[in-house]
Structure 1
Amino acid sequence: MFFSFDKIVMSMAAVRFLSSVVELTAAVLMLYFNRVETAFKINAVLALVGPAVLITVTTLGLVGLAGKVSPLGMASILLGVTLIFLGINKL
């Protein structure tokens, strides 16, 4: 039995899978080093990974939706993503 997955969906899932591997590796490293300072540094690196993954997956999703969503719908999605980042930066 073979499954046919959309290339965009497969790419989005692959990026999320890679992100989860990075997160799991970071958790293992935190336990391995067993120091608050080192765990804090590892966590700081993860703070860079999260937004990059969000941007990448969102971009892939928008590319997949191009032509299927009205211009107003696309503008609403872009506005929503922009508001997410504005909200994050205001904290």
Structure 2
Amino acid sequence: MLFMFDKIVFLMAFCRFLSSTIEFSAALLMLRFNSVETAFKINAALALVGPTVMLTVTSLGLVGLAGKISFSGMVFVLLGIGFIFYGVNRI
């Protein structure tokens, strides 16, 4: 049985699989080195992965929705993303 996926959906899922692989590998490295200092450094490096993947997947989703939702709907989606980053940076 052959599955046909939308290209955008496939890329979104691939980005999430890649992200989870990076996160899982980082967890294994933390256990391997068995050091709080090293685990902290690895965790700091992971701080770049989460937002980057979120922006990439969201951008891909917006590209996929570009012709399907209204301009005002797109503005609200972008505002929501902006609020997420604003809220995270206010902490």
SS at the partner of 1:4?
A: coil
| Deviation, structure 1 residue 31 | 0.1
Number of aligned residue pairs? 91
Aligned to 1:6: 6
Aligned to 1:35: 35
**What are the superposed Cα offsets for residues 36-83 of structure 1, whole Å, 9 maximum, x if unpaired?**
000000000001100000000000000000010000100000000000
Aligned to 1:16: 16
Question: Quick one: percent identity of the two aligned structures?
Answer: 66
SS at the partner of 2:47?
A: helix
**For 1:88 and 1:53, how far apart are their aligned partners in 2?**
16
Q: TM-score, normalised by structure 2?
A: 0.99
Question: Any residues of structure 2 matched to 1:1-91 within 5 Å, and which?
Answer: 1-91=1-91
**For 2:74 and 2:60, how far apart are their aligned partners in 1?**
13
Question: RMSD of aligned C-alpha atoms?
Answer: 0.4
**For 1:43 and 1:56, how far apart are their aligned partners in 2?**
20
Gaps in structure 2 of 5+ consecutive residues: none
| Deviation, structure 1 residue 3 | 0.9
